[in-house]
Amino acid sequence: MRIYLASRSPRRRELLHQIGIDFDTVVFRDGDRADTETDESPLAGESAEDYVERIARAKAIHGLKIIADRKLPMRPVLSADTTLEFEGQIIGKPVDLADATAILKRLSGKTHRVLTGVAINHMGRTEYVLSVSEVRFRTIDDEEIRHYVMSGEPMDKAGAYGIQGLAGLFVEHLAGSYTGVMGLPVCETGELLKSLGFRPL
């Protein structure tokens, strides 16, 4: 059995392959032609928990609409959204190098939460699960931040870092799901798929 993955993320593709799930990818438009249905702008006063759930569900629902419009075979659509919460503020992907630098300086020596919501739209119903992890960075000096930002790695990642890449050097403590911090918590995702009749193993 195959599913659709409504995500551009190479990390999510890699993690689905890791747990033996076959999938085809549904890609949303971005830039000036971005799909309004999947706008990732936080709403005023929105909590990080509400934000990731709203975005993950919207991606799953819109992904199914794209499949129906293209008259593709109907299968479950899996989507996910990852964000950071630090001092009550939602931190998404950096807009530029200066923003990435500022985010990493804020996170240096502190603990933040990483929230990944996973949604599956199947048979007109959307199931959802949330993974929450706590990550503490050691103190990172300005030169390390500069080198990391210039590597380009932070630019497409929530919170301006990828735990599976060079930023693994910054992580002093992790409580929760390593794969959830990467962008797809495989334990929770596997349980969600099993509830729909999929057997990852």
* pLDDT tens per residue, range 86-125: 999 999 999 999 999 999 999 999 999 999 999 999 988 8
Catalytic residues: 81
What local confidence, expressed as pLDDT, does residue 196 receive?
Answer: 84
Q: List domains and CATH numbers for the chain.
A: 2-195 (3.90.950.10)
Look at the alpha carbons of 96, 186, 34, 88 in this order and tell me if their dihedral is positive or negative.
negative
pTM: 0.93
The dihedral region occupied by 122, where left means phi > 0, alpha psi between -120 and 50, and beta the remainder, is: beta
pLDDT, tens digit (0-9, with 9 covering 90-100), for 20-56? 999 999 988 766 666 778 888 899 999 999 999 999 9
